[in-house]
Structures are given as structure tokens and as C-alpha cells.
Chain A
Amino acid sequence: MMKTRKGYPVYPLTVAQKFHLYYLAFCPKKQVVNIGNSLTIGTDLDWNVLKSSIYKAYERCESMRLRFAKDKEGNWYQYVVEKEERDIEFVDFTGQTMEEAEKTMRKWTEVPFKEEDSPMNRIVMIKTPDGYQGIYMLVNHLTMDAQSIICFMKDIIELYCNTMYEGVPYPKEMHSYIKQLEKDLAYEAGSKAQQRDIAYFEKLIESSEPIYNGLEGTDKLKEQRKRKKNPKLRSAINVSDSVDADLDIFHLEAEPTKRLMDFCEKYHVSLACLLIMGLRTYFQKMNGNDDVSINTAIARRATLQEKKSGGTRIHSFPFRTIISEDKTFLEGVYEIRDRQNEMFRYANYNPTSYFAHRSKVYQLEPGYTYEPMSLTYQPMTLQERGLDKLGGISYKTKWYPNGATTQAMYLTVMHRPDDNGLDFNFEHQIKAVSRKELEYLYYYLCKIMFKGTENPNLPIGDIIKLI
């Protein structure tokens, strides 16, 4: 076992990090763990101040200085180097079209990182053809997730604004990634809390076998039952033989988004609950099952230390609900809220163990699943995380696909920073799910959510008939 590497103490990976390694092992395209995004501002930036703000932000964020190494047995370890010494690149896209500039950044997002003893991120200062200026940032998902990326971006902006503008306070300190890591590893080393979480999830898994619901209905399950000569088969292969992926984005305007948010505020439920309700009702309509499962991501950032220590913390678990059609829309939303709140309390459980235990209990063959898709709702935007310091200056953010995914469909719902409307980002395997299928899903998802929020006491069965 390694103890130090290049003079720095080494630590094992957390289960959240190992989950990425788990699917990475089966994926021929190693950029599957890349996350690329850009933030540009409609004003002239001082590049020297921006550069020093980026270095300062590196200094304040340990997980942006993470490196990985393997020991003789092939186990991965991580360590944090003292400082970032690379030059910060600058690329001027002036003279090109926006499409060309975005295509270049998309290409950057498709380049995998060197695995050992190498930086796991890339930052480029950019000037885009629309006259905006800012940064493009690429990270390895084993080191950062969406929330820590936003937190890091916010830090750069606040550091920049502190230098440039009078009266802008110096941002509060970030928290130590290593300290949080030590806490997580202590939990994973057989703690009482871990035993409690294992017991909860194993009981949940063993309660009864879920059933697969297809995006287009029951055809896929029926076909696989026939092929397997097993009329009782409840799982299906959902992915294609190619990990090549595309990203299709659907925009919900600010006003209808506000109506959904008003419903959530009135009934004290999160938008994530409403989205799950919309999605599960869609699958219920298409498949005729009350029993619906989709994968949902839990950010696991509650304390300020968790929120401000960077790293990757997401745990994804199947979220199963059995809600009959005679229940009202609101009863369904409340059931989801209660079940989700319950799951939150045990969310430190190892997601890889979840799938391994479930496969054992129900004798699942490799590749077979009950979940047709995954959902992440990202409530945090830069609007509330720093860009208010820029006053009325407009800005743009963009996330770039890495061109590969191991899942058939992954929906990330995020607020647009400029108008707070919702963007539905569908990352999908090109061979597994078509744009037309996504349009159909998005259309009915919206219809269900609006019909339900306008008539919360309407039975789910009536909503399914009416839309």
C-alpha cells in the first residue's frame, strides 16, 4: 500500500469516486468522465487579474489539485499537490462563428486526461465571437461534480471582483477536501452509520422485484421476455452496443417555469419531486404499470463543509415508487417527497453495493436493469453564487457533452442563469434513444406536470387520460 507519492500523503478513493471507475472500466471512451463548461461575460476582462484569480482559486480548492496513482496491485490512490504551476491558456475565437467556437470547446471536452500523476482539469481563458469573455473549464468527474464546479467558478468571480471593484468583500474561505475525505473514509471503514445505511438499503432492495418500464412502452420488455423464453422477466437491457452520445436540450420558458416553482413553494415540495412525479407518470402512462423506477442523483452536500470542499460526492440510486392511478397528483408528489426524504438519510450507502446486492437478490444478468433513465436536478446556478457582484452585466454559461455515455438516457434539469427558466439536458446514447423519442417524452412530461399542478386533486388516472 502506498503511503506517500512525490512527498504527499495518499488516500484511498471514496465510493463516489469508485462508482465512476466502475463504469469507466467497461467504457471504451475514457472521456466519459469529462465535464466541460464555459462561463462568459459581456464585458472586457482584465486578463492578468483573471489569471491571478484562477491561480488563487486553485490555491483555495484542494480537489482542483488532485492527482491519482495506482499501486502495484492496481488500486487507485489520490493525493493533493501543493500548487498549480501550469500556465493558464488563452484562446481568442474572434473571427470565427459561435458554432465553430463551441465545436472547438466540445472537442476539448472529448479529450481524456492522462491517468497517473497528472492534472485532472484544464482551464482556458476565452474570448468568444459574440464579444463575451471568460473561461472554459474541463474537469475529470472523479475530482469535481457540477456543484463543486459552480462553487469553484463562483470563487474565481468573487476573487476577480474583489480585486477589480471597490467594496466587494474577499470571499469566505473554502473548506478542506482532505478533511472531508477523511470523514468520508472513516464512515466507509465500518462505522455504525454505515451499518445502519446498509441495513436500510438491503431491506429496501429485498422488499420485492421492480419492473422495467420502456420509454416507448412495453415492447422492449416483451421482446426480451420472448428472447429469454421467460414470460415473467421484469428487467431489460436498456443500453445500445455503442457509447456514442449526443446532447439534446429543451428549453422551458421563464413564465411556465415560475408556475411550477410556485406550485412547489405552495405545497412545500422540491422541484425534483415534481420532476420525478412527471417522469414516473409518463412511464406509468406508456407501460400501464403503477410500479416505476428511475435512477436519481443525490448531491450529498448538506453541511457548509460538504458544500465548500470541492470533490465529487454524487451518489445515484434507483428511486422506485408504486403509486396507483386512483391517487391524486398531489398525493403522488407527497409520496415521492416522503420517500425521497427517507432515502436522503441513508444516502451515504455505496451505490455500487446497491447494484451488486440487487443483482444477487434477483439474479440479474449483466446489463439488465429496471431503470430506463437517470435524473439529476441541479438547483444551483451562478446567479445566486457570485455573479450578482457584476451588477447588470450579462453572462452566459454552457455545458459541453463529452461524446460518450454508458447510460441510455441521462436527464439533467438546470435553471438558466439569465431568466431562471429550465433547461432539460438529455444526454443519450445515439443508438439507444432518438431525438424524436425525447421530443415525445418532453412534450408529455410538461403536459403531465402542468395538468397536475393546475389540478393537484385530480386522480393520476384522469391526468393520463386527459393529456
Chain B
Amino acid sequence: MVRLEPRRQHSQAMVYLSPVLAILMTLVVGGIIFAFMGKNPFDALYTFFILPINNSYGISELFVKATPLVIIAVGLAMGFRANVWNIGAEGQLTMGAIFGGGLALYFHDSESVLLLPAMFVLGALGGAFWGAIPALLRTRFNANEILTSLMLTYVATLFLSFLVHGPWRNPEGFNFPESRPFPDAGLLPIIFEGSRVHLGTAVAVFVVIAGWLLLSKSVIGFQLRVVGKAPQAARHVGFRQKRMVWFTLLLGGALAGLAGLFEVSGPIGQLQPSISPGYGFTAIIVAFLGRLHPVGILFGGLIMALTYLGGELAQITLGLPNAVTGLFQGILLFFLLASDVLTKYRIRFGSIAAKGRTA
């Protein structure tokens, strides 16, 4: 018989091992699914996870995809640490793209070096604004931020769709639902020649370091952790939960907005109806995969970026549907949450005589 036995102290080793375990389990289950679909599981896994990064271009693409994931996930992790469940990063990303991108469209003739920094600011503000709505609803009316932030995502994407179909449509664009291309002054500089790796990737690394400092070295990061781990202790010492709700939703929104702006002023270069393959949602998985720790998130972001690349390649070379990407991401989150049980419990094999029925 197999049973779970509580550990006396949380296992630090398992905190780090459980993502590895989850990834292994995902590979096994993924292989089985490929086999059922009539593909050779080893070929398929190779195509999915190795082929995308066996050349330098592939690796640079990995950074491009990981950039928004990491930036958003660091912001979300702050909230998750404080039990603020912002599920609407996708919407905040979209609003950031609209605000920052809108500025680029308004100054579409500009050659000013100030345009790009101004777009950064506006992008962050747009995301923060979209995060402020659930914060207000939560602190004033006690509305659950999981629902409000999620629903606002759809508002944001439809708003973007309305803009690019209507008022912001490119007048020279043959009626395609797209905006004008951004002026050069509104495009992110490329860091590595010949790739698409842009300034945003450097910002992502900076965000990781700043996030780590904030979380583990600052008083406000300390407050976040106390509010999340022991709300009553937080109240006892006067760390106000409402302040943390505001802080994390504004910060998470701003970072998601910034990530959205980086997408439209980097790889995309204009506003389109769809600017993200679900980065805002995938970042939730990245945050947990990285143990809500900024440095862990850096690795988690790279792994999840790989599923995007692998999914695209599997579509092209194996003829698998794009849904396979989502499937892998889902399985990974599932196993991650499941294997987390092992940080608090250990598995024991063998039976015990007449295990008591619980009262």
C-alpha cells in the first residue's frame, strides 16, 4: 500500500525537485499521447523539445518568446505571494499594447528618441490601469479579483479588436484589420544582429533581478510575504492587506502592460487583433513553475517558451494541431501542482496493520 505521511518540516529539496519531476511526468504522458495519435513518441518529443533549439536562431527565438513570459510572471508572482490572484495578465498586456502602441500611432511621423521611452511609460500605465480596476473592486466591494481580472481580459481583447477594425485601422492597409506599422523611433532596438532578440529581453533580466531584490530584501516584499503566509499576523503588525492588493495588481498590471508593449513594438511592429498567443495565461504556469521566485521564473519562462516553439514546429513537421501546445502546458501545470504535495508529505510504501477509519 502507498500512503502519504506528513513531513515535520517542508522539504527544501522537494521545492526544487518537484518542477523537475513534473517536467519528466509531462514528457512521459506527452509521449503516450503522441503514441495514441499514431506518431513515434520519441520522434515527436524530439521535434517538440530538442529540434527547436538545436541552432542559434532557435535559441534566439526562445529568448524572444520567454521575454514576455518572464516579465509577466515576475509581476504575477508578487501577487500570488500575497494571495492576490490576478488571472487577467492577458488583458493587462493588451491594454499596455493599446496605450503604448496608440502613442506610436499618434506620432507615426516622429523620429524622436523620446518616443520609445514614452511608449514604455504609457504601456506600463495602461497595464496598471487595467490592474487597478480589479484592485478597486476588490478593496471597495470585496469582489473576487480572479473573476474580475479574467473578465476584463475579454473586454481588453475586444477593445483592441474594435480599434484595429475601426478607428485605428491602417488607412493604407487595404482594409486589413491592422494598424499602421510603428515608426522606426517606436520600434525596439535589436540586441543581437540577425535575430529578433530585442531590448525587452534585457529588460526581462533586469525585472528578474529587481523582482528578486524587492521580494527578498525590501520591507514591502517582506510585507507581501507575510500577508500571503499569515494574514492574521499581517493584521497584527499593521501590514494592510488592501495596500498589498493595490500594490500587486498595479505592479503586475504594469509589468504585463510593458510586456504587451514589447510585443507590439518588437516582434510585431504594429497593432493587430491578436498580439499574444496567451502569454498572460501561460505566465501563470511560469510563475508556479519558477516557485514564485524571480530566478526560478527565468528558467520556467524558458521552458514554457520551448513549448510554444515546439508546438509550432510540431504543426509544421508532424502535422499536429496547435492545440498540442496548450495540452502540454496544461499537463505540466497539472503535474506541477500534484508533485507539490511532496514538499509537505513523503510517500511511504508498505502497509500498516488495520489503518483506522477516520472519525
Report whether chain A binds chain B.
Answer: no
Interface residues of chain B, those whose CB is within 8 Å of chain A, are none
A interface with B by C-beta (< 8 Å): none
